[in-house]
């Protein structure tokens, strides 16, 4: 990996795009957007920025200034921070704003924010006028390494998360790792769970790199952050290239730990466990399940416990949830990956490789809630 900024290419034929990753590259947004859209500086550029109340100042305003200074016409719409904004009602308000802005198929929608803003703005871009151009500017670690890459967009239905959505690849992704300077510690650490996930599912060397750079991870060292984000984007791009529409089963490997995690998030109550915190605990339940099937030993579990603990992520299922195995199981059966009542789990057979396994009896599944 380079120590300076780099570009990761997502290879999807006519839907291919670049992810530009650096520290302090936000001012390049106009130049990069024009490049990705194939617009010369003398051609008009109309930009519709979607952001949230925590990201507007300074990040979305910085994007707006850079675009305006480069001659673009810019509208900024700010939604309330939080998962509740990923709704059809909010999407509808954004459609109204797009009508007022006289948006057409040459208008570009820019999402400046975390996964909530990215999923919502991407869904609106996918559906308005049967598809607007879309650029992602992720500002959380989770959005940088996961949600901004791969084209999944959507909003929540009152009865299910991400139930309404579409695949809509961006034209480009600009990642300025400096934007994480304002990210609350807990949100940052939550993103680290997804980072560690990539090491377990795809890349032993990357897992070793993380183990050897704990201080840099904890101190948000710019060089470490850049390398980590770039490698995660490369790893996700490899999966998305092979299984863009989640049809072959490969893309499901990104859900390592998530079958347990989604149940923990749902049952703990909104905001009690952040997504990454639930994933951290869920990955260890998955590893214990892998061990009970003879796929890995204690050493592989301990390495994950040590790394997750070193970056201050929780590793144990909270006591109140351990007391509800039946409810956890019921919740897991609602998981989108469940086929005809058979729960599927993404399980490692070493650090750096996983398979999707079904047909596991329910007692074994719930026994792995405790260590």
Q: Which residues are catalytic?
A: 130, 152, 194, 236, 246, 251, 255, 258, 262, 275
Q: Out of 22, 52, 90, 146, point to the residue binding ligand GLY (CB under 6 A).
A: 146
Residue 237 sits in the site that holds ligand GLY (CB under 6 A): no
Q: Out of 251, 275, 303, 337, point to the residue binding ligand GLY (CB under 6 A).
A: 251
CA 283 to chain centre: 16
DSSP state of 56: I
Q: What x/- string results for residues 178 through 217 when contact with ligand NAD is judged by CB under 6 A?
A: -xx-xx---x------------------------------
Q: What phi, psi does 342 have (nearest 5°)?
A: -95, 110
Residues 82 and 98: their CA atoms lie apart, in Å, by 22
Element (H, E) at 287: helix 275-292
Residues 161 and 18: their CA atoms lie apart, in Å, by 28
Residues 175 and 20: their CA atoms lie apart, in Å, by 6
18 touches 7 (CB < 8 A): yes
Q: What x/- string results for residues 38 through 67 when contact with ligand NAD is judged by CB under 6 A?
A: --------------x-xx---x--------
337 binds, among ligand NAD, ligand GLY, none (CB under 5 to 8 A by kind): none
Q: Out of 124, 142, 253, 365, point to the residue binding ligand NAD (CB under 6 A).
A: 142
Residue 253 sits in the site that holds ligand GLY (CB under 6 A): no
Q: Are strands 133-138 and 172-176 parallel, antiparallel or unpaired?
A: parallel
Residue nearest to ligand NAD (CB): 115
Could you give the C-alpha distances from 199 to 151, 217, 300, in angstroms and in order? Answer: 22, 14, 12
Q: Which residue in this structure is represented by tokens 């957007």? A: 33
Residue 86 sits in the site that holds ligand GLY (CB under 6 A): no
251 binds, among ligand GLY, ligand NAD, none (CB under 5 to 8 A by kind): ligand GLY
Q: Are strands 152-157 and 17-22 parallel, antiparallel or unpaired?
A: unpaired
Cis peptide before 58 (omega within 30 of 0): yes
165 touches 151 (CB < 8 A): no
196 touches 300 (CB < 8 A): no
143 binds, among ligand NAD, ligand GLY, none (CB under 5 to 8 A by kind): ligand NAD
Q: What x/- string results for residues 180 through 199 when contact with ligand GLY is judged by CB under 6 A?
A: --------------------
Residues 64 and 48: their CA atoms lie apart, in Å, by 9
Residue 254 sits in the site that holds ligand GLY (CB under 6 A): yes
Residues 233 and 187: their CA atoms lie apart, in Å, by 19
Task: Using the minimum distance from each CB to ligand GLY, give the nearer residue, 150 or 191.
Answer: 150
Compute the least distance from the CB of residue 190 to ligand GLY, in Å.
Answer: 14
Q: Out of 103, 117, 321, 332, point to the residue binding ligand NAD (CB under 6 A).
A: 117
Residue 124 sits in the site that holds ligand NAD (CB under 6 A): no
Question: Within 258-287, which residues bind ligand NAD (CB under 6 A)?
Answer: 275
Q: Out of 34, 86, 168, 303, point to the residue binding ligand NAD (CB under 6 A).
A: 86
Q: Tell me the number of residues near ligand GLY by CB under 6 A.
A: 5
Taking CB under 6 A as the binding criterion, the range among 30-38, 123-131, 143-151, 321-329 that sits at the site for ligand NAD is 143-151
DSSP state of 318: -
Could you give the C-alpha distances from 45 to 39, 52, 151, 160, in angstroms and in order? Answer: 8, 23, 23, 37
Q: Out of 66, 123, 126, 150, point to the residue binding ligand NAD (CB under 6 A).
A: 150
Task: Using the minimum distance from each CB to ligand GLY, give the nearer residue, 48 or 345.
Answer: 345
End-to-end CA distance of the chain: 36
Element (H, E) at 136: strand 133-138
Compute the least distance from the CB of residue 320 to ligand NAD, in Å.
Answer: 23
Q: What x/- string results for residues 149 through 178 when contact with ligand GLY is judged by CB under 6 A?
A: -x-x--------------------------
Q: Please choose, from the candidates 80, 16, 79, the residue with its C-alpha nearest in 3D space to the C-alpha of residue 48.
A: 79
CA 364 to chain centre: 29
Q: Which residues bind ligand NAD (CB under 6 A)?
A: 52, 54-55, 59, 81-83, 86, 113-117, 119, 139-140, 142-143, 146-147, 150, 152, 162, 179-180, 182-183, 187, 275
């Amino acid at each position: 990996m380079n120590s300076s900024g780099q570009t990761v290419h997502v290879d999807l034929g006519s839907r291919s795009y670049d992810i530009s990753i650096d520290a302090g590259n936000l001012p390049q947004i106009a130049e990069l957007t024009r490049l990705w859209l194939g617009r010369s500086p003398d051609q008009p550029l109309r930009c519709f920025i979607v952001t949230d109340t925590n990201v507007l100042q300074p990040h979305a305003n910085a994007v707006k200034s850079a675009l305006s200074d480069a001659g673009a016409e810019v509208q900024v719409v700010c939604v309330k921070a939080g998962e509740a904004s990923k709704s059809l009602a909010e999407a509808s308000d954004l459609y109204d704003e797009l009508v007022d802005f006289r948006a057409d198929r040459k208008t570009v929608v820019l999402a400046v924010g975390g996964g909530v803003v990215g999923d919502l703005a991407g869904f609106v871009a996918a559906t308005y006028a049967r598809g607007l151009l879309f650029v992602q500017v992720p500002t959380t670690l989770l959005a940088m390494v996961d949600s901004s890459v791969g084209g999944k967009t959507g909003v929540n239905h009152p009865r299910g998360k991400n139930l309404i959505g579409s695949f809509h690849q961006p034209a480009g992704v600009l990642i300025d790792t400096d934007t994480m300077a304002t990210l609350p510690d807990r949100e940052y650490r939550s993103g680290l769970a997804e980072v560690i996930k990539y090491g377990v599912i795809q890349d032993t060397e990357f897992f070793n790199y993380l183990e050897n750079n704990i201080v840099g991870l904890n101190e948000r060292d710019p060089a470490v952050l850049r390398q980590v984000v770039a490698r995660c984007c490369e790893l996700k791009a490899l999966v998305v290239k092979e299984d863009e529409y989640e049809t072959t089963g490969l893309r499901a490997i990104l859900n390592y730990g998530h079958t347990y995690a989604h149940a923990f998030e749902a049952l703990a109550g909104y905001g009690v466990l952040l997504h990454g915190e639930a994933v951290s605990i869920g990955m260890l339940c998955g590893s214990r399940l892998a061990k009970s099937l003879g796929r890995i030993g204690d050493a592989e579990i301990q390495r994950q416990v040590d790394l997750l603990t070193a970056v201050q992520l929780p590793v144990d299922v909270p006591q109140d949830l351990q007391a509800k195995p039946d409810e956890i199981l019921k919740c897991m059966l609602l998981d989108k990956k469940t086929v005809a009542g058979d729960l599927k789990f993404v399980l490692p057979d070493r650090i750096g490789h996983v398979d999707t396994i079904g047909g596991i009896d329910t007692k074994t599944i719930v026994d792995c809630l405790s260590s």
